[in-house]
Structure 1
């Protein structure tokens, strides 16, 4: 499981989506804070005598410096900022739920592939024991096998092929070649048993734990919040507020 989780590229992409959602959340939160600006200028020119309160006096060229500072704060009169933050928070929750869903899928597929390897190994062992019993049976049984009773051998060949496919699936999931697997994996002939029952509990708690449902709920929440952002400014007030410079 640890190898599969470390090698899976979908999980790395899902983790990157979480980082992107967190960055968007920080950007949305920053809109609640005041913004400042600082501007410095310099020019080489001749100021007028009237500007220097010395009419009629010839002035020489000099460097003129200017410095300006400003501060602005957007008043969230119609809830535009709060709805943007709400949407960003929901996007982060959806990204986390998508990561959890991908993790569950990777674990489930790795478990299924490993169980297939062990199951096929058990079937191969059963088929081989059946062949050994046939070899020790009477001439009548040997005659029946020669006459077409070859099902056990067919089962052995089919199980070997299925086991090889399961090993290839494990290779893809864990990022290894099938021949690099430990001997215990390749020679597994008995499926692992649960040490205790899975604590599923009631259906409502199961639904609350499912990451795909949580992701859908967060995506719905984000979509409704974006609708609130789009409808936060009435048409009649948007132009006036824009001219006052209180919103973007």
Structure 2
């Protein structure tokens, strides 16, 4: 990853200011924000996933398949968002739109349970620690959370998409591991996060770092970098997860 950043600076050598000079101020601001957040909120991003041992070729194939499954699920949400947005805004009254959206979100929360509520940062810890959830439970939680993300965006509710996308990736990864336990959970969870966050943000670095932070295992980094390639190529030219504002 460091080599990729250095190579990016080399390719951009015609620019008068080096890449590091342009990164210094944002890095300093990010460090200050992270320190402040850590002092007051103590967030826990890391999941208690069993350590991943030595990488094998079959693990790369498995990681690619997991990422592609996550992308396929995420692209369903991308397809639904503009259509649901147009449907919700046919009501032409913001209070009615938000009211119906809130009612539907409440129904989804009832179906998915408490784990599907809120942004998902603390809830994904409960997913990883759970000893009772089955593969079907993980799948239901992932689909409900993704549907809630699409519905909230289509209804006009404010909020971020990254943590809900990470939560969906964690649930999908745990579901795949529960379904095929021969594939290590570290691979299924990290690659599912990578694929889902990539669909939502279309930012390769953010997707890579989120997967590496949630499953902090240096052995996984080369695998994630390789898995990123087919995932990025698959999403090239695909629609973004946005809904255009209708002025009529």
- TM-score w.r.t. the length of structure 1 is 0.26
Point out the structure with max Rg over C-alpha: 1
- TM-score w.r.t. the length of structure 2 is 0.26
Higher normalized helix content (fraction of residues)? 2
